């Protein structure tokens, strides 16, 4: 039982940790994605280009404090709380608060969390959900499912992360032991289905305008990337038939053009106005319904005809996502000067410059990003795989590691660009699981030490 003094000390440590982090990220950084979601939040008209739940939450937060600061506080407070709940199972609360604050401020975690992104809000609610699922009281485990509903609602591929957490951690019984394993897993899987269905149902219910962003993004990259890896030259007539109905911006030497312009780390230039444009599509997914259907059909025909080339293309994209190439993943070190000034001013936001201490910290992060490999996701894949065999008896660490790895694997068919934020959850899980396993090992050694 915690004493009042311990509770106060723990809360004070967490508050100081959060305060230091907010000072580092003040007032919260924005990207074009952030600006688009804030614009929808203020208009109160939601599209499904991004999960509308994120804009709906931001609409309420923006009423309390306009701009990114409110969301920065929300996503990072939830992240810190969830980290603390996980760590307090293996160490005393004050120490758990200190370590949780250090995790929040660590180089693999902090550079992404200072940006207002759906990925960051998802990570925070995933951790909060995981921490609550580990509680011995049923009402808090049910609350943990609620947190995972929010996490799922703000990121379309979040079910890949929630599946291991719910199936491995959730139980209706007072403790994990009494319920038979098969029955417990069946109940947990049913709970995951309910969490996923509720999250997607909420998004569907609040969507005012449906767009098909996939046809102007991933489909474009997949079609061009797959065809670029086809060894034989494809005549224009054959290619026009394969892409029937797709709004092509080039009409001669189409295959050679795609091969020349293909970049596994980016697709924007293939649809952006300019000399490298291949498809006459808007970047925001608001193309005519006929063009969307044509792109979907063309994507399916290309993948079915050239499955090997498709897999080769997806592997090259995934290699960029993992950071195994020479290029640093996108968005690894965003600074105040990297924000979209024009978009922010349209929203009435002042893209203020950072202050001295922030600039110093940002320079350190930039140095770590480009001079070391600490922000390369493949390192955390390796770390997670090495830690898995050490998780015997530690279902919390095991669930986190599997969650991070499954989420990362989901990027193989879905990632559009190699943004570091896509791999952020894996990096968080690997770091946190390593700490949990180390702390548990220390406790075990102390318990078995000779008197």
Taking the domains of the chain in order of start, what are their residue ranges? 4-204+340-374, 213-322, 375-446
Helix (H/G/I), strand (E/B), else coil: 386 = helix
For the chain, the straight-line distance linking the first and the last C-alpha, in angstroms and rounded, comes to 26
Helix (H/G/I), strand (E/B), else coil: 40 = helix
How remote is the C-alpha of 98 from its chain's centroid? 25
Burial degree of 371 (CB within 10 A; 0-12, 13-18, 19+): exposed
Q: CA–CA separation, 417 vs 265, rounded Å?
A: 5
Q: What is the DSSP letter of 361?
A: H
Give the E-state strand segments of 254-367 in sequence order.
none
Per-residue pLDDT of the chain (451 residues; tens, 9 = 90+): 568 889 999 999 999 999 999 999 999 999 999 999 999 999 999 999 999 999 999 999 999 999 999 999 999 999 999 999 999 999 999 999 999 999 999 999 999 999 999 999 999 999 999 999 999 999 999 999 999 999 999 999 999 999 999 999 999 876 545 556 788 899 999 999 999 999 999 999 999 998 888 999 999 999 999 999 999 999 999 999 999 999 999 989 999 999 999 999 999 999 999 999 999 998 777 888 999 999 999 999 999 999 999 999 999 999 999 999 989 899 888 888 889 999 999 999 988 777 777 888 888 888 988 889 999 999 999 999 999 999 987 899 999 999 999 999 999 999 989 999 999 999 999 999 999 999 998 877 777 665 5
Q: What is the DSSP letter of 339?
A: S
Alpha helices (runs of H) in 88-133, residue ranges in sequence order: 93-104, 110-113, 118-133
**Residue 450: how many other CB atoms lie within 10 Å:** 3
- From the list 34, 216, 232, the residue with the least C-alpha distance to 119 is 34
Q: CA–CA separation, 47 vs 204, rounded Å?
A: 10
Q: Are 257 and 250 in contact (CB under 8 A)?
A: yes
CA dihedral 141, 146, 148, 152 (to 10 degrees): 160
Q: CA–CA separation, 398 vs 378, rounded Å?
A: 19
Helix (H/G/I), strand (E/B), else coil: 79 = helix
Helix (H/G/I), strand (E/B), else coil: 176 = coil
- pTM for the full model? 0.94
């Amino acid at each position: 039982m915690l004493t009042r003094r311990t509770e106060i000390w723990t809360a004070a440590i967490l508050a100081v940790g959060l305060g230091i982090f907010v000072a580092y990220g003040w007032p919260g950084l924005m990207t074009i994605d952030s600006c688009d979601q804030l614009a929808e939040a203020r208009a109160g008209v939601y599209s499904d280009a991004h999960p509308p739940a994120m804009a709906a939450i931001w609409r309420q937060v923006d009423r309390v404090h306009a701009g990114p600061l409110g969301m920065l506080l929300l996503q990072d407070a939830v992240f810190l709380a969830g980290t603390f709940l996980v760590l307090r199972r293996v160490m005393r609360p004050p120490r758990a608060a200190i370590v949780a604050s250090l995790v929040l401020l660590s180089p693999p975690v902090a550079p992404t969390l200072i940006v207002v992104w759906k990925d960051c809000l998802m990570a925070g609610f995933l951790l909060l959900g995981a921490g609550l699922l580990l509680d011995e009281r049923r009402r808090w485990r049910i609350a943990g499912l609620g947190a995972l509903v929010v996490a799922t609602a703000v990121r379309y591929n979040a079910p890949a992360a929630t599946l291991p957490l719910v199936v491995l951690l959730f139980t209706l019984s007072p403790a994990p032991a009494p319920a038979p394993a098969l029955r417990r897993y069946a109940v947990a899987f049913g709970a995951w289905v309910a969490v996923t269905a509720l999250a997607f149902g909420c998004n569907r219910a609040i969507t005012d305008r449906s767009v098909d962003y996939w046809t102007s993004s991933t489909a474009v990259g997949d079609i061009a990337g797959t065809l670029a890896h086809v060894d034989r030259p494809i005549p224009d007539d054959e290619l026009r038939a394969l892409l029937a109905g797709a709004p092509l911006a080039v009409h001669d030497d189409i295959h050679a053009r795609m091969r020349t312009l293909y970049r596994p780390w980016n697709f924007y230039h293939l649809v952006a106005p300019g000399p490298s444009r291949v498809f006459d599509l808007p970047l925001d997914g608001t193309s005519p319904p006929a063009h969307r259907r044509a792109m979907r059909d063309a994507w399916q025909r290309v993948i079915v005809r050239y499955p090997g080339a498709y897999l080769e293309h997806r592997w090259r994209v995934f290699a960029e996502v993992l950071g195994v190439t020479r290029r640093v993943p996108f968005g690894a070190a965003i600074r105040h000067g990297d924000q979209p000034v024009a978009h922010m001013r349209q929203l009435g936001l002042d893209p203020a410059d950072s202050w001295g201490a922030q600039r110093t910290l940002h320079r350190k992060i930039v140095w770590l990003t480009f001079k070391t490999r600490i922000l390369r996701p493949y390192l955390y894949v390796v770390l997670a795989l090495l830690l898995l065999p050490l998780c015997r008896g530690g279902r919390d660490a095991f669930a986190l590691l599997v969650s991070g790895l499954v989420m990362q694997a989901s990027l193989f068919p879905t990632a559009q660009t190699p943004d570091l934020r896509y791999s952020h959850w894996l990096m968080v899980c690997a770091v946190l699981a390593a700490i949990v396993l180390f702390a548990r090992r220390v406790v075990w050694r102390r318990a078995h030490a000779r008197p």
